[in-house]
């Protein structure tokens, strides 16, 4: 028997103490369903501490990310209000943060079936995600990263635009004025809308209906890059404007 609560507590403590831990699969026989149970237990811990669900994130929806991290399956995780980054991110509260460009969707009304999700979108934006694996050296297997809520740490987004086709948006990630990554949203499952539908299907399958005001992160189109202290990051999406964050 896997101690789901114990493993969730271990990851929580790693984040709190800024001390990466060995991956769980080194010592626990973690399969994918059990890994999602650990993820959920971690989210319940956050809820008990007063955090509220704020959305869903998709992971490994592009080949660039799969290749970077050595995994080959799409995963999902949950976002909370405590993860929302406005104009700055305090990296002293993170272990080894990385940043990546994202396409973000704003949910306008409750989504009770996957078929409803596209018509429930109230806006699209260019976004960023700050990842911070709780595992040593940012190394993990698929069940490990699922248990660790898909490395979620912080996220932010630019101005919401009316819903539109975002199947081929050029994305640029700049750090201190230098281009760190460039890509296209087409790298996200061919169209981030596919990722949005998958997010609704996966969340609903786990008994979670997307709520008004929630954000869905479709997944990074490029690899993630280290996010150092005193950095200025800008993510630009062609036709979507940009979002900036400092550390
Ligand atoms: C896992 C999270 C992947 C994405 O957008 O593909 C992810 C990781 O790379 O640590 O958020
Ligand atoms: Mg991401």
User: 240 C-alpha vs ligand 1 centroid, how far in Å?
Assistant: 22
DSSP-derived pairing of the beta strands 232-237 and 241-246: antiparallel
Q: What is the pLDDT of residue 48?
A: 97
Mean pLDDT score of the chain: 97
Ligand in nearest proximity to the CA of 134: 1
Q: Is the minimum distance from the CB of 77 to ligand 1 under 6 angstroms?
A: no
Which pLDDT score is estimated for 27?
A: 94
The per-residue pLDDT for 44 is 98
Q: Pick the residue whose CA is nearest to atom 3 on ligand 1.
A: 59
Distance, CA of 4 to CA of 194 (rounded, Å) = 31
* Residue 240 in this model has a pLDDT that exceeds 90: yes
Mean pLDDT of the 96-118 span: 96
Question: What value does the mean pLDDT take over residues 229-238?
Answer: 98
In the chain, the domains with their CATH numbers are: 4-246 (3.90.850.10)
Q: Which among 123, 103, 120, 100 has a CA at the least distance from the CA of 111?
A: 120
- Which of 60, 68, 71, 173 to mutate to test ligand 1, by most ligand atoms within 8 A of the CB atom? 60
Q: What is the pLDDT of residue 3?
A: 96
Closest CA to 85 of 238, 227, 237: 227
pLDDT band, residue 235 (cuts 50/70/90): very high
* pLDDT, position 1: 81
**In the predicted structure, residue 72 carries a pLDDT above the cut 90:** no
> Is residue 148 within 6 Å of ligand 1 at its C-beta?
no
Give the pLDDT score at 220: 97
Q: What is the pLDDT of residues 161-199, one digit of tens each?
A: 999 999 999 999 999 999 999 999 999 999 999 999 999
């Amino acid at each position: 028997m896997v101690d789901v609560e114990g493993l969730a507590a271990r990851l929580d403590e790693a984040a709190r103490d800024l001390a990466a831990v060995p991956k769980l699969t080194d010592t626990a026989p973690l399969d994918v369903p059990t890994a999602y149970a650990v993820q959920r237990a971690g989210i319940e811990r956050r809820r008990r501490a007063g955090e509220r669900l704020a959305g869903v994130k998709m992971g490994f929806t592009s080949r660039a990310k799969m290749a970077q991290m050595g995994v080959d399956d799409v995963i999902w995780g949950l976002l909370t209000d405590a993860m929302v980054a406005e104009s700055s991110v305090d990296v002293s509260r993170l272990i080894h943060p990385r940043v990546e460009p994202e396409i973000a969707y704003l949910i306008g009304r409750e989504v009770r079936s996957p078929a409803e999700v596209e018509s429930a979108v109230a806006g699209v934006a260019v976004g960023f995600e700050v990842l911070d694996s709780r595992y040593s050296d940012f190394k993990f297997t698929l069940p490990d990263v699922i248990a660790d809520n898909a490395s979620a740490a912080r996220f932010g987004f630019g101005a919401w635009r009316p819903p539109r086709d975002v199947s081929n948006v050029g994305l640029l990630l700049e750090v201190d004025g230098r281009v760190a990554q460039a890509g296209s949203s087409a790298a996200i499952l061919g169209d981030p809308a596919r990722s949005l539908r998958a997010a609704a299907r996966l969340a609903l399958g786990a008994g979670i209906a997307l709520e008004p005001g929630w954000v869905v992160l479709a997944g990074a189109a490029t690899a993630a890059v280290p996010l150092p202290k005193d950095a200025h990051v800008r993510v630009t999406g062609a036709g979507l404007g940009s979002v900036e964050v400092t550390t």
